[in-house]
Structure 1
């Protein structure tokens, strides 16, 4: 297949995880067939990230493109100055992301018009639609929040029906293949007592039934469970559509529903994803990043004061843990000296990382780490972080629950021991894959404590991005909170690339 032969329409794109993975696929002849024609995203900081990445893909093969991009990463060029160096590619990137944030449902006129232009220009060559409608209405956390809203009525919550915006694009583009991603909660979400998932599947198989536009039918396949009836694929259990990312090289237990739709007239059957024999651990993908210290959020932040506090905490933690672990006294909890909270620092050689991920993370990588800055924490939380990380290390990878914390470390929460927040402080164990990286990481970091008690902190944006398998040169725009949200909401690009390869084989 030729470079750019397959048109990609990316909906609800976020910072671009799904598009990044699919567009990175390489055909056996060395070409990159997938070409993103349009990426639709409504959140401003994610849209800015999306545009920067679209621009990167367009300048990477040009003379001075990579060096100029890296100058921007090192703050030697502003974003405007970088774009001014490559005006043609900048204009193309901005057009790809529709020049400004757009929301499906609210801005359909502009979005649909651009999609029609691209589809008409592309002719009979293959087309793919990708994306996942926002999941707040389907996620377990979202449903819990909704239950607490007075007079909340599910059928009036338009977020339950954003998938119909996806159907409209299917009717306009009539792609050969579509990829639709969503949270696990979509399998059990209800409206008026009706489980939504069977209805969504039915609508995706026949989009024209809803859009009232003549549209081909689609066969919807699982990417992890095979089916004998390839002409009308059916599955015994809705969870057959659930992909557990940790089984496919992603260092994170991220369980997502991903549907692969194939137009009825497209020949061939997509294969399922190939499972890896071993899961990738947190330590394997984070150990090469520079060590950093946390900071103080409620007092003057000085490195000497931090070292003093962490040293004092280490002594107390050892005493507390001796009751539970005989070897607690052997722990080295002396703080590292003169650590920074941020700074663009060199990356060491990733000795522990699986070779396939070294190539993935480090392709065209900058020589220094991006988006690697810690946040400040209350001094009392630093003690809890040290306890949690040390406990996880001594236990062989089990993060302590509320019941495992001594009373001296209990936070002032009425429901601390009720079981409702049993894992309020959760360390990401070094020897396991991480728990699901969510947008909640932007809040306080308590669920994402670094496994090294000597650093005594939550994960940085770059560390979260590593767990999500974003390449090291992926620049997240916006402030730090916005960057965390973008990373937490994304599809892991490395998983997306594997799905893209399945689609490429099918279209070839």
Structure 2
């Protein structure tokens, strides 16, 4: 690495959201000092995405090479052809992602050896980033575990993957580390004891836990609350480490715990993130993307059949709404299906009308891309399409509020035994046009019921690209794998634009 560059060690990388944001951080002189040395990811499709993006970063500075990347994502050449065109850059990208999916705790010898090699060669600043997989900490995951009589938290390896993070800290001894996790980590318990205070204690002195001597210790900072004593930061509430992404220019209510560790010999105090002036809505974020129709999953799927079905649904909804709302409100609804819609689109003719405010707009859009990636709908049963249209129309009539199960007409109720109990009151949830989105999670890969598009004329759930937009992945970021895998990758990621803001905090702290 060159002088002035910062070595980045990316753990539990997923499709690369945290690494994308950090590596995109730009110095006032125009340079991008954060250079990813290694990204560790075990899931094959996410690893493939990670490697493709690593190659993109290495090609992006040269216009001809970048165009070949565009040729690949537009389907003009294969991935294999792209990699063969640039063998040196391809090899570097593959080395960056360890040439294959790798897992901490399983492939430690290989991973640790590579990190030691990078650290020995790099004389400048180093940072470690990443968050251990969060299923054991998440509120939903804990709910599922509670229903399993054989589940024992002390035997769940996911509780202790942060120990693998500690081991890497003792090997790399970075100037700074960034550790991300779900908000459930604040309240997760082991043997009846809340774990988070112990996690903070361990992160302050990783060598004490790993039994490795002469290792660095760290001060742990919040990125949103100023510490009372910057030289020995203490916080009155564990929730002080919680970042509410919608307050920082991310168009979704993604609440995550992000810890900033600063090595004790670095005497500077980090700044906190600057709040955005206004929140960004779903419609601002998505409205320029091509309109699509949903598909049918259990009957012949044709455009004509879809248009007839949605037209029939619109009449049914008007009748249902007239029982509840004044005629003037009903007349303002437009439920007529858009005609001749495809189920997938790579054409981006409406890009000039993008409503995303700056600076997020500049972050997302790529004027040279010329297409939309990963923008394809999934199929649904006909009854669910009617419920989707109801949700979207209901939100229009109720200032963006998504309906609960009690708000559905009886004839639209699904055949679920707990539909009327309130247990799953928001089984169907529209992402309202005039609000920021709810949290994009990996559950979007299941059925789309929680992620209904705000436009009843399209009557569908969100595409991978729309979910990626809400997560602030740049439009030129290609997700590899099948559609289900792509949804999971997006749902599990750290918003790159938030990570880029954290990168600016780290850049100021390191005084590069």
Answer yes or no: same fold by TM over 0.5: yes
> What secondary structure, in the 3-state scheme, does the structure 1 residue paired with 2:308 have?
helix
Please list the CA deviations of residues 178-230 of structure 1 after superposition, one character each: whole Å capped at 9, or x if unmatched: 00000000000000001000000000000011111121110000000001211
| Distance in 2, Cα, partners of 1:379 & 1:188 | 41
Offset at residue 87 of structure 1 (A): 0.3
Superposition map of 1:391-402 within 5 A: 391-402=394-405
Corresponding residue for 1:247? 247
Instruction: Name 2:100's counterpart in structure 1.
Output: 100
1:395-431 alpha-carbon deviations (Å, 9 max, x no partner) = 1100000000011000000000111110000000000
Q: What CA deviation, in whole Å up to 9, does each residue of 1:352-392 have, x standing for no partner?
A: 21021210011365111110000011000010000010001
How far is 1:2 from its partner? Answer: 6.6
Q: Whole-Å Cα distance in 2 between the matches of residues 33 and 455 of structure 1?
A: 43
1:231 to 2:231 alignment: yes
Other-structure match for 1:295: 295
Residue in structure 1 matched with residue 195 of structure 2 by the alignment: 196
What is aligned with 1:126? Answer: 125
What displacement does 1:347 show? 4.0
Alpha-carbon distance between aligned partners in 2 of 1:353 and 1:462, rounded to the nearest angstrom: 15
SS in 1 for 2:364: helix
Does the 8 Å CA contact 1:4/1:32 hold for their aligned counterparts?
Answer: no
Q: Which runs of 5+ in 1 are unaligned?
A: none
CA contact (8 A) 1:365 1:473 kept: no
Query: Residues 2 and 31 of structure 1 are in contact (CA less than 8 Å); yes or no, is this contact kept in structure 2?
Result: no
Q: Does 1:369 align with 2:368?
A: no
Using the alignment, how far apart are the partners of 1:40 and 1:351 within structure 2? 35
Q: 2:157 corresponds to which residue?
A: 158
In the TM superposition, what is the alpha-carbon distance from 1:4 to its structure 2 partner? 6.4
The Cα of 1:329 is off from its aligned counterpart by 3.2
Deviations 1:423-453 (A, max 9, x none): 0000000000000000000000000000000
The 1:52–1:351 alpha-carbon spacing in structure 2 relative to 1, beyond 3 Å, is closer
* Cα distance in 2 for residues equivalent to 1:369 and 1:274: 31
- Count how many residue pairs are aligned between Structure 1 and Structure 2: 507
Do the aligned partners of 2:178 and 2:260 also contact (CA within 8 Å) in 1? yes
Q: Distance in 2 between matches of 1:12 and 1:237?
A: 27
Offset at residue 63 of structure 1 (A): 4.8
CA distance in 2, matches of 1:4, 1:439: 37
Contact 1:322/1:329, CA 8 A, preserved across alignment: no
Q: Is the contact made by 1:318 and 1:329 (CA closer than 8 Å) also made in structure 2?
A: no
Structure 1 pair 320–191 and aligned structure 2 pair: CA distance change class (3 A):
same
1:69 positional shift: 0.3
Say if 1:283 and 1:63 are closer, same or farther in 2 by CA, change over 3 A: closer
Other structure's SS at 1:7 match? strand
Residues 337, 199 of structure 1: alpha-carbon distance in 2 compared, 3 angstrom cutoff: same
1:331 corresponds in structure 2 to: 333
Aligned partners of 1:256, 1:422: CA distance in 2, in Å?
24
Q: Secondary structure at the match of 1:200?
A: helix
2:460 corresponds in structure 1 to 457
Structure 2 spans left out of the alignment, 5+ residues: none
Partner of 2:345: 343
Change (3 A) 1:73 1:445: same
String of CA shifts for 1:52-108, please: whole Å, max 9, x gaps.
000000011135111100000110010000000000000000000000000000110
Give the 3-state SS of the residue equivalent to 1:10 in structure 2. Answer: strand
- The two structures, once aligned, show a CA RMSD in angstroms of 1.1
Alpha carbons of structure 1 residues 416 and 322: separation in structure 2 relative to 1, 3 Å: same
Pair 166,109 (structure 1): closer, same or farther in 2 beyond 3 Å = same
Superposition map of 1:208-223 within 5 A: 208-214=207-213, 215-223=215-223
Structure 1 distance, partners of 2:376, 2:140, is: 28
Per the alignment, in what secondary structure is the counterpart of residue 261 of structure 2?
Answer: strand
Is the aligned partner of 1:313 residue 2:316?
no
Aligned mates of 2:140, 2:366 — CA distance in 1: 36
Q: Does 1:175 align with 2:174?
A: yes
**Take 2:189 and 2:262, find their aligned partners in 1: how far apart are those partners?**
26
Alignment check: 8 A CA contact 1:2 1:32 kept: no
Q: Which residue number in structure 1 is paired with residue 304 of structure 2? A: 304
SS of residue in 2 equivalent to 1:119: helix
User: Which of 424, 428, 433 matches 1:425?
Assistant: 428
The equivalent of 2:283 in structure 1 is 283
- Cα pair distance change 1:410/1:314, threshold 3 Å: same
8 Å contact kept, 2:228–2:235:
no
Say if 2:376 and 2:464, in contact at 8 Å, map to a contact too: yes
Distance in 2 separating the partners of 1:193 and 1:442: 33
CA distance in 2, matches of 1:466, 1:188: 30
Alignment correspondent of 1:480 = 483
TM-score, normalising length: structure 1: 0.98
**Structure-1 residue corresponding to 2:446:** 443
CA contact (8 A) 1:350 1:358 kept: no
Determine helix, strand or coil for the equivalent of 1:64.
helix
